[in-house]
């Protein structure tokens, strides 16, 4: 037998048997850690597909390698890499780090043989004979006529319209047909190139049509008899494999067909048996041969089968069908269940399904061992896989597009319905992240590692917010993720503004390592944050009025609030030549004729005399420059009210001046961060708040966060928040709900884990998810150290609201990795772990 294709115009395959096949590339639907309601919706999509058409079909789910070079290409897409030298170094280092990691994905196709009428079948048979004759005589290949192609394409277009749009179907290409054929021949040898992308539209040339005949024909050796030439084969039953030679290195493959499924049916969700193939940790391909029949025809066939069964009952017992206890009872029960399934919906279909699993390796024993893993896995869910002796070649051909279904393949057909088959969730993936951007980490939702890219700017261009939030306990990797992302934004040409609460001013050190960062310590300032001096009277006055209303505890409509408003009026400031808070204070205390001005001045002076007052009222300090690509506001030593003081009126009224001042300063910093990030749309700007509750403790801070989330995309800016408790620290319910991209890291406290899951959008009552968060993500040993290689694990919800499990990777450059680390070293000599010592992931 030879490869079936003779011509490949467009997504069509003209075959040696005379049948024309049409193939469509389907995109999988996000599944993974999705909530149950979404999983049910995904099943409904599959059900709609299997109930959309009738006839034969071949569904292919083939593993494919991911070329590290393609990941690097995605990391520089849309950038002038020569203008981003730091990013260029990171990309090159990333390429080196990915070379040693096996990256993979799975690609899906739906292939359908097109129907022909009697006249077309005669013409097709003649055409097959002519092509075979021409090939025997080494004559030029006969290609299909334009009319043959047009008629076949019209049929294919009708099928295309039946495929639910959620799978984003597109017509396959000749290159994809050839890739599939060669992949089947070289399975397990890691020789695959990347799966061909969609080609540009153009005319179908004769060269393209003849590509099918240039497909290499494999040499198939069932049981590897050529390896045993001259030897006596002791146990042929131990040689259930197929040797395939089409290149220098042969591929040894084991083909297994599903021979039995659970008697009680498959549980959903929980046993998505096709989707689960990616959880094995090995490359296993699968195909399904389907014959789909409409409900009306299926019911008539079922009724005929029941009649036949009744006759057999009467022949085997004198008691008739009701009193029989023969072996036919089981068959009768199956028929009744199947009839009931067909009656669920008028759209229901009868499906005869043959599922074939295939693994490959460079040696026979390796292939047998891999097949045993697959068989044992599926046996655990009561599915029996059979590797038929003498039937390996038949199953292999049964996986090929364009090959008619053989009798040997039909023998493994399982009877089911479109609804039940949909529960296998074939077209599903755990794909996460963006199509370009920085390398966030590795997708570990299944055992098939795939890179996850993070593109804040790309979200904005797609009219979505680029803002994100991280929830984690201490030491789980929250700050690492925020710093890594910030460094990548700078390397790609962006800017950042950070509020750093840490006692070590760790963000100041980090910022200085990535760009010309200015770090301002609020309690010991080198620059002034006086908005009138930093932003000018016109822009700064509104900031001052908003913050001082809170600081001085005055209502905008009471006497003192009115005086404050009048003094900070832009026209008044210009008339009085007031361009600083120090000048405003002196004016209130001495030269202002407004009633109540002196009282307001005395109250303001109470704050100006405090240590923290220097950053606002000291005119000898130069104003904070805004032209730096990094600004870090270090707030160590700044006191803030606790939760009880904020919610209890009597405690709030007794707040110390230091706490009142601290709370207002944070509100001011939020306004300054907004102004800095929103002022220039040319560069991406990132506002980072590592401990979000310091900002969201005031209504003014919550309002700023909401502005970033709602309107940041219009100004090419985003906010990144970090917290231990999202329900307390990410603002009100509306603001929390507006944050599109979310990370949930380890929480050993069960209550915090539940709150995190609720914010994340998953079922907080799911004990498996709670265990995942509390004990299974980045687990720690008895010394509270994360096990090596398990660092940086988290749940991730991307901008498309897809859920999955990710392991955050560290920067590929050693110096950047060192700059990010904020945890004590493990060597006792002041030397932190190197990237190699950390297995290339977050430490």
The whole-number pLDDT of residue 135 equals 57
Query: DSSP 3-state assignment of 680?
Result: coil
The whole-number pLDDT of residue 842 equals 45
* Proportion of the chain above pLDDT 90, given as a percent: 53
- For residue 546, what are the contacts with CB-CB under 8 A and spacing of at least 6? 667, 671, 700
Query: DSSP 3-state assignment of 262?
Result: coil
Is 180 in contact with 109 (CB distance < 8 Å)? Answer: yes
**In which element (H, E) is residue 385 found?**
strand 384-386
Q: What is the dihedral of CA 68, 834, 454, 684, to 10 degrees?
A: -120
The whole-number pLDDT of residue 673 equals 94
The whole-number pLDDT of residue 328 equals 44
- For residue 395, what are the contacts with CB-CB under 8 A and spacing of at least 6? 255, 256, 257, 356, 358, 388, 408, 409
The whole-number pLDDT of residue 48 equals 92
Tell the residue number behind the tokens 């003192």, with chain if given. 560
Question: Residue by residue, what is the 3-state secondary structure of 49-77?
Answer: HHCCCCEEEEEEEEEEECCHHHHHHHHHC
The Cα diameter of the chain in Å comes to: 118
Residues 464 and 454: their CA atoms lie apart, in Å, by: 14
The whole-number pLDDT of residue 495 equals 95
Tell me the per-residue pLDDT of 399-445, one tens digit each, with 9 for 90 and over: 999 999 999 999 999 988 898 999 999 999 888 999 999 999 999 99
Region of residue 604 (phi > 0: left; psi between -120 and 50: alpha; otherwise: beta): alpha
* Residues in the chain, pLDDT under 50: 118, 133, 137-139, 200-204, 206, 305, 309, 319-329, 331-332, 335, 338, 823-843
Tell me the per-residue pLDDT of 281-302, one tens digit each, with 9 for 90 and over: 899 999 999 999 886 665 565 5
The whole-number pLDDT of residue 561 equals 85
The whole-number pLDDT of residue 621 equals 96
Indicate the domain borders of the chain: 5-24+51-66+103-198+205-294+351-426, 454-527+624-838, 530-623
- Domain 454-527+624-838 matching CATH 3.30.465.10: the answer reads no
* Burial (Cβ within 10 Å: 0-12, 13-18, ≥19) of residue 830: exposed
The whole-number pLDDT of residue 316 equals 55
Is 323 in contact with 317 (CB distance < 8 Å)? Answer: yes
């Amino acid at each position: 037998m030879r490869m079936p294709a003779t011509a490949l115009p467009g997504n069509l395959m003209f075959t040696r048997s005379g049948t024309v096949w049409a193939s469509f590339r389907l995109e999988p639907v996000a599944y993974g850690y999705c909530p149950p309601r979404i999983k049910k919706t995904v099943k409904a999509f599959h059900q709609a597909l299997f109930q959309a058409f009738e006839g034969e079909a071949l569904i292919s789910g083939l593993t494919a390698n991911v070329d590290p070079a393609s990941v690097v290409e995605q990391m520089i897409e849309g950038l002038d890499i020569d203008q981003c030298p730091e990013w260029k170094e990171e990309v090159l280092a990333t390429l080196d780090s990915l070379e040693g990691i096996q990256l993979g994905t799975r690609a899906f196709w739906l292939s359908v043989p097109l129907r022909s009428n009697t006249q077309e079948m005669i013409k097709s048979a003649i055409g097959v004979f002519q092509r075979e004759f021409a090939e025997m005589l080494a004559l030029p290949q006969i290609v299909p006529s334009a009319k043959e192609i047009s008629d076949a394409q019209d049929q294919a277009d009708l099928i295309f319209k039946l495929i639910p749009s959620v799978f984003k179907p597109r017509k396959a290409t000749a290159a994809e047909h050839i890739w599939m054929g060669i992949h089947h021949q070289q399975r397990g040898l890691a020789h695959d190139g990347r799966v061909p992308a969609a080609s540009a539209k153009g005319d179908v040339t004769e060269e393209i049509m003849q590509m099918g005949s240039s497909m290499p024909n494999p040499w198939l050796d069932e049981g590897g008899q050529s390896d045993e030439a001259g030897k006596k084969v002791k146990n042929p039953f131990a040689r259930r494999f197929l040797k395939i030679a089409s290149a220098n290195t042969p591929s040894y493959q084991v083909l297994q067909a599903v021979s039995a499924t659970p008697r009680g049916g498959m549980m959903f969700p929980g046993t998505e048996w096709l989707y689960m193939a990616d959880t094995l940790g090995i490359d296993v391909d699968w195909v399904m041969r389907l014959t789909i029949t409409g409900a009306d025809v299926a019911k008539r066939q079922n009724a005929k089968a029941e009649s036949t069964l009744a006759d057999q009952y009467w022949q085997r017992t004198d008691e008739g069908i009701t009193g029989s206890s023969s072996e036919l009872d089981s068959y009768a029960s199956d028929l009744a269940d199947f009839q009931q399934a067909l009656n669920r919906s008028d759209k229901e279909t009868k499906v005869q399904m043959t599922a074939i699993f295939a693994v490959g390796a460079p040696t026979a024993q390796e292939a047998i061992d891999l097949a045993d893993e697959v068989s044992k896995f599926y046996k655990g869910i009561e599915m029996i896989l059979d590797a038929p002796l003498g039937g390996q070649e038949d199953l292999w051909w049964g996986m090929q597009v364009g090959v008619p279904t053989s009798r040997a393949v039909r023998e493994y057909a399982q009877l089911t319905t479109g609804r039940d088959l949909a529960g296998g969730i074939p077209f599903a993936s755990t794909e996460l992240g963006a199509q370009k951007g920085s390398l966030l980490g590795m997708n570990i939702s299944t055992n098939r590692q795939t890179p996850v890219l993070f593109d804040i700017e790309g979200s904005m261009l797609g009219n979505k917010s680029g803002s994100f939030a991280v929830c984690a306990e201490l030491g789980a990797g929250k700050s690492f993720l925020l710093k890594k992302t910030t460094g990548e934004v700078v390397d790609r040409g962006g800017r950042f503004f950070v509020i750093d609460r840490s006692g070590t001013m760790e963000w100041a050190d980090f910022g200085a390592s990535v760009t010309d960062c200015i770090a301002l310590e609020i309690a010991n300032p080198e620059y002034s944050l006086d908005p009138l001096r930093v932003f000018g009277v016109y822009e700064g006055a509104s900031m001052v009025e908003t913050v001082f209303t809170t600081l001085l505890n005055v209502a905008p409509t009471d006497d003192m609030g009115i005086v404050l408003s009048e003094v900070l009026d832009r026209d008044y400031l210009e008339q009085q030549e007031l361009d600083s808070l120090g000048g405003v204070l002196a004016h209130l205390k001495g030269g202002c004729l407004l009633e109540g001005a002196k009282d307001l001045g005395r109250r303001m002076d109470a704050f100006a005399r405090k240590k923290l007052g220097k950053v606002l009222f000291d005119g000898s300090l130069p104003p904070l420059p805004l032209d730096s690509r990094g600004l870090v506001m270090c707030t160590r030593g700044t006191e803030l009210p606790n939760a009880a003081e904020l919610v209890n009126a009597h405690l709030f009224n007794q707040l110390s001046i230091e706490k009142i001042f601290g709370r207002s300063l944070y509100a001011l910093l939020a306004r300054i961060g907004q102004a800095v990030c929103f002022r220039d749309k040319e560069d991406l700007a990132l506002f980072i708040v590592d401990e979000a509750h310091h900002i969201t403790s005031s209504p003014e801070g919550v309002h700023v966060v909401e502005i970033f989330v709602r309107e940041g995309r219009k100004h090419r800016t985003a906010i990144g928040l970090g917290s231990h408790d999202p329900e307390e620290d990410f603002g009100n319910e509306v603001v929390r709900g507006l944050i599109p991209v979310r990370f949930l890291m380890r929480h050993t406290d069960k209550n915090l884990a539940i709150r995190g899951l609720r914010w994340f959008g998953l079922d907080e009552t799911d004990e498996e998810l709670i265990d995942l968060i509390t004990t299974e993500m980045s687990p720690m040993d008895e010394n509270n150290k994360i096990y090596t290689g398990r660092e940086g694990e988290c749940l991730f919800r991307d901008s498309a609201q897809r859920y999955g499990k990710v392991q955050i990777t560290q920067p590929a450059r050693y110096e950047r990795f060192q700059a990010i680390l904020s945890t004590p070293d493990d060597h006792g000599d002041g030397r932190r772990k190197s990237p190699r010592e950390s297995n290339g992931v977050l430490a």
